[in-house]
Structure 1
Amino acid sequence: MNNLKIIDFDFDHKLLKKFIDFGYDIYKNDSQFIPPFREKIEFELTKQNPFFNDRIIRNFIIYDDNAIKGRISAIINKNMPNIGYIGYFECIDNYEIAKILLDNAMEFLKKNNIKEINAPINFSTWNKYRFVTEGFENESFILEPYNHKYYPLFFEKYGFTVLKNYYSNVVIDIDREMSKIEHIKQKALQNGYYIRNIDLKKVDEELLLLYNLTIEIFKNNFAYTEIDFADFKNLYSGLNYMIKAEYLLFAYDKNNNACGFLFGMPDYSLAFKKMNGKSDIFSKLKFLFYRDKAECFIMKTFGVKKTALFSGVGSLLVYTMYKNMKKNGFSKGIHALMIENNSSRKYGLGTTNIIKKYSFYKYEVLQ
């Protein structure tokens, strides 16, 4: 590799297309890869994305002769001036290439007085972040990150250290899990807590409720950054076409105050693979045809207000979702992407299997 050349840019249309295309090409022979929607990636990386109101990005592509061998982005959040981010990393299995990409991203961030670098993360924790670090032998599922096995090894070799670990557990005996929390669920019901489904006829109104709950519940979480409702709404666009009402649950106390939620959806991996990152009418028809072939259910986002902690309402939410899963024919479920010290990991503790481990990294910039 004697003809290496690196190009940097921000919003150049032609370069951005090559940058995005490489994110698909690098996995073209990988049956585990679930192609993300191209429209979504294109929106994320163009000026139309509201994230650029307070963020700066510098993208890098590395060529060997005329063939792209890797890409990376350096990202700065103006509201967090000391922390920089590295995202959209994809690379062939060659550490020399990876190091050149990382060197260039690092240089850009250092010039902007960044003291700590977090990776991998595409803008914020509202977007894709973390590397899969264990469990590559297990099937990939929707809503989780995906990467080649050598990516975290390259980052660790470069000097990144693990900041946080996350886990996904599979539930293979739903009845057993329900029986373990039934008495806690019953306590919550006796104390006046109750559950309702999202009203898909009032999606905008319901998303505002979900947004307000999310902000209040997660505002003190690790690596949290606040987004406005317009950005949040965009993240959940098309939700009413993707789920049944009983897959997004809201919890209320006896005074009819919303105090928690649980969101999940069937693992549409097969349907998304058939769509191949496209969202035209024919691809949507493929989704409709293959969506009912999902065999597993993903429990993705779960939260309870501080005022309702230890009330049993969390178990009430989980129990209700288990019940809905069974009703819809799912024999197994995944508690997805749980941070290592989160209390939600208690669900299925000792009776479920860890199927994936993910890591989020940091790099301390030497002064």
Structure 2
Amino acid sequence: MEFKIKEVTTPSQIKKFIKFPHKLYKGNNQYVPVLNGDEFETLTKSPALEYCKIKMWVATDNKNRIVGRVAAIWNPHSNEYHFEKRVRFGWFDFIDNREVAAALLEMVALWGRELGMEQMHGPLGYNTLNRQGMMIEGFENTPPINCLYNYPYYPQIMDELGFEKQVDWVQIKLRADEGVPDKIKRINQMLLEKHNLRIMDIKELKGSSKLIKSFQKSYNEGFKDIDNFVPLTDSEVEKVAKDYFSKLRKELTCIILDGEDNIAAFGICVPNLSNSFKKAGGKLFPFGLLRILWEFRNYTTIDLLLLGASSEWQNKGISSIYHTHIATNLERGTIKYAITNPQAENNSAYKVWERYGYEPYMKRRCYIKNL
């Protein structure tokens, strides 16, 4: 097959770069399209670009049709934080053709060598808030909107190209309608009283610069030991607060404050919107927004989006408080299932799910290769 590699630089080229997966996965029932406008902003206006550099390429056939794409990200904060010299790759999609995939990844490798990097790894975004990890199991399932989907041939080709596993993340599906035993509720109330903790009203988040800074501290400390984690900057946290805090649902959110009203831990869940995003097809208008808003109010599955605790509160049972609080809120509702966010397979936090009925849902991998 004849194809060319072209760098993506103009707004019109970026829009085509974004829309390529919609064509690649046309007819696939599991693929969840991102919103084109949100993706354009991520690639061109993300606060992470204050310190990251990004390059994008597409592969085109002899009829000038896109047959693959990739982005390369140089994140100096990540390299400094982890004492490594790595270039990231993400937004990686391609037809079932080994040569196309290899040529795209070679562009990432060439740029990485120019920057003095020693390894390349991905799929990754700027940070852990972006979608990351190539699916290696669970292809029959639909991912949450903040997770990637890919065909089974992707990991097969990665293996053929000599890439190795850096880390695997697993996701599980839980029963969310089984309730919480009274004994667990009593234990959690004792924990709140013992440590002088309280569950805050999420309305307190609106316009509170102190709580936003406290969330930043709690988030950065809670995830500091996670593979490929990058601490969020002030501007990144401000964007998270602006985009998401006003949309949090009371019954799906538990933010725990200590005696000095600092955020000790948080459990943030959101309605699973995958079906409405499928119907929207990447567009908010004319009907995409209406479908998303309807599912935001009428849902039977939730996504466990962010669960974490400040370092001083880890290993003290505080995670049980937000799990129990949210599960109790759901006891008399219509929610049937919950899907966890991707977590490293060796993460001890999974022990908390043992009291729920659960099943494996998806497994995804970050690949790595020396340059």
Q: 2:282 aligned to 277, 281, 301, which one?
A: 277
The count of aligned residue pairs is: 362
CA distance in 1, matches of 2:330, 2:97: 43
Is 1:165 the counterpart of 2:199? The answer is no
| 1:173 CA displacement | 5.9
Equivalent AA in structure 1 for residue 55 of structure 2: R
**Residues 180 and 328 of structure 2 are in contact (CA less than 8 Å); yes or no, is this contact kept in structure 1?**
no
What's 1:43 paired with? 41
Is 1:6 the counterpart of 2:5? The answer is yes
| 1:264 CA displacement | 0.6
**Residues 270 and 294 of structure 1 are in contact (CA less than 8 Å); yes or no, is this contact kept in structure 2?**
no
Equivalent AA in structure 2 for residue 195 of structure 1: I
**Residue deviations 1:176-223 (CA, integer Å, cap 9, x gap):** 665684464244134133322411771564544422321232234321
239 and 160 in structure 1: CA distance in 2 versus 1, 3 angstrom threshold: same
Q: How does 1:250-329 map to 2 (within 5 A)?
A: 250-254=255-259, 256-280=261-285, 282-329=287-334
**Residue deviations 1:54-78 (CA, integer Å, cap 9, x gap):** 2222211111112211111122123
Equivalent AA in structure 2 for residue 74 of structure 1: A
Q: How does 1:100-179 map to 2 (within 5 A)?
A: 100-172=103-175, 174-175=177-178, 178=181
- After TM superposition, the runs of 4+ consecutive aligned structure 1 residues lying more than 6 A away are none
What's 1:27 paired with? 25
Q: 2:216 aligned to 196, 199, 211, which one?
A: 211
CA distance in 2, matches of 1:281, 1:231: 30
CA distance in 2, matches of 1:346, 1:99: 39
208 and 256 in structure 1: CA distance in 2 versus 1, 3 angstrom threshold: closer
Q: 1:93 aligned to 84, 96, 105, which one?
A: 96
CA distance in 1, matches of 2:92, 2:212: 31
Deviating more after overlay: 25-34 vs 254-263: 254-263
Q: How does 1:62-101 map to 2 (within 5 A)?
A: 62-65=59-62, 66-79=64-77, 80=79, 82-101=85-104
| 1:256 CA displacement | 4.2
**Residues 177 and 335 of structure 2 are in contact (CA less than 8 Å); yes or no, is this contact kept in structure 1?**
no
Equivalent AA in structure 1 for residue 346 of structure 2: N
**Residues 173 and 339 of structure 2 are in contact (CA less than 8 Å); yes or no, is this contact kept in structure 1?**
yes
CA distance in 2, matches of 1:49, 1:258: 25
Listed as ranges, the gaps of 5+ residues in structure 1 are none
CA distance in 2, matches of 1:336, 1:78: 26
356 and 95 in structure 1: CA distance in 2 versus 1, 3 angstrom threshold: same
**Residue deviations 1:122-159 (CA, integer Å, cap 9, x gap):** 22222111111101122332322212221122112111
21 and 332 in structure 1: CA distance in 2 versus 1, 3 angstrom threshold: closer
Using the size of structure 1 for normalisation, the TM-score is 0.89
CA distance in 2, matches of 1:60, 1:173: 42
73 and 139 in structure 1: CA distance in 2 versus 1, 3 angstrom threshold: closer
| 1:361 CA displacement | 1.4
What's 1:58 paired with? 55
Equivalent AA in structure 2 for residue 49 of structure 1: S
265 and 327 in structure 1: CA distance in 2 versus 1, 3 angstrom threshold: farther
Using the size of structure 2 for normalisation, the TM-score is 0.88
CA distance in 1, matches of 2:162, 2:208: 44
**Residues 88 and 123 of structure 2 are in contact (CA less than 8 Å); yes or no, is this contact kept in structure 1?**
yes
Equivalent AA in structure 1 for residue 122 of structure 2: A
Deviating more after overlay: 274-283 vs 96-105: 274-283
257 and 49 in structure 1: CA distance in 2 versus 1, 3 angstrom threshold: closer
Equivalent AA in structure 1 for residue 54 of structure 2: I
**Residues 197 and 247 of structure 1 are in contact (CA less than 8 Å); yes or no, is this contact kept in structure 2?**
no
CA distance in 2, matches of 1:268, 1:121: 22
Q: Work out the percentage of aligned pairs sharing the same amino acid.
A: 24
Equivalent AA in structure 2 for residue 194 of structure 1: R
CA distance in 2, matches of 1:179, 1:116: 51
Is 1:358 the counterpart of 2:364? The answer is yes
| 1:4 CA displacement | 1.5
353 and 179 in structure 1: CA distance in 2 versus 1, 3 angstrom threshold: farther
Structure 2 counterpart SS, 1:226: coil
CA distance in 2, matches of 1:298, 1:114: 36
104 and 68 in structure 1: CA distance in 2 versus 1, 3 angstrom threshold: same
Deviating more after overlay: 169-178 vs 93-102: 169-178
293 and 30 in structure 1: CA distance in 2 versus 1, 3 angstrom threshold: farther
Structure 2 counterpart SS, 1:103: helix
